[in-house]
């Protein structure tokens, strides 16, 4: 599933699949790319997870083990956060947010009109 409009010759004459929404002729399809909120969430989860992993590896003391019943909570929580951060980044790449972008008429306040592609 490509997020960009097919520019190959004859692609406009090809029948579209029934599950893909129609894009007007004067519009293009673009993705959110690096500005997708899932990227920010994934990066933050990953960074905080790395901090907890470091605390779990280097700062796990017998006192901390006594508080948690011998479980290295920082290590396991950090590992879970890193895994979820990676999943968010992968989710962004597998299913990007697509938008229909077209130029507005002369005199409009905004140069382009952006709408979600459902």
- DSSP-assigned states of every residue in 93-111: HHS--EEEEEEPPTT-SSS
Task: For residue 69, tell me if it sits in a domain.
Answer: yes
Blockwise average pLDDT, block size 10, the chain, 118 residues: 45 50 67 82 97 95 91 95 96 82 64 58
- Work out how many domains the chain is built from and give that number: 1
Provide the pLDDT for residue 66: 93
Give the range of the structural domain holding residue 73, as residue numbers without chain letter.
31-116
Task: For residue 91, tell me if it sits in a domain.
Answer: yes
Task: For residue 4, tell me if it sits in a domain.
Answer: no
């Amino acid at each position: 599933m490509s997020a960009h409009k097919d520019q190959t010759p004859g692609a406009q004459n090809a029948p579209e699949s029934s599950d893909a929404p129609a894009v007007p002729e004067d519009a293009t399809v673009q993705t959110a790319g690096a500005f997708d909120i899932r990227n920010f969430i994934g990066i933050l989860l990953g960074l905080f997870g790395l901090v907890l992993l470091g605390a779990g590896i280097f700062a796990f003391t017998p006192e901390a083990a006594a508080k948690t019943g011998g479980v290295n909570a920082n290590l396991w929580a950090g590992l879970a956060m890193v895994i979820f951060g990676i999943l968010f980044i992968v989710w962004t790449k597998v299913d990007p947010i697509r938008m229909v972008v077209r130029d507005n008429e002369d005199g409009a306040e905004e140069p382009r009109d952006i709408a979600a592609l459902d």
